[in-house]
Amino acid sequence: MPNIKSAKKRVLVSATKQASNKADKTALKTILKKVDADTNADNVKVAVKAVDKAAAKGIIHKNAAARKKSQLAKKLNAVS
């Protein structure tokens, strides 16, 4: 348990950000599952946008984002 005022604040801020990041990551996973269930151009476009946004926010690593986008493109090309 922190004793210093700034450390106490950091604990609160960290917990808030952790909750926000977890919610964003869960939403991203849901979108990706939706693409798995029904792969079409519209779903892939939404998923790519969500992946880019998550990478920009630092929720996922940029290389992980690139990998997910590549997998989505492969999946779309296989269906088309």
Q: What is the CATH number of the domain that holds 63?
A: 1.20.58.110
Distance, in Å, from the CA atom of 56 to the CA atom of 64, rounded to the nearest integer, reads 12
What the block records as the tokens of 33 is: 């599952």
What are the tens digits of pLDDT across the range 2-42?
A: 999 999 999 999 999 999 999 999 999 999 999 999 999 99
Q: Which domain holds residue 52?
A: 5-79
What are the tens digits of pLDDT across the range 42-80?
A: 999 999 999 999 999 999 999 999 999 999 999 999 998
The number of domains in the chain is: 1
Return the amino acid letter for 1.
M
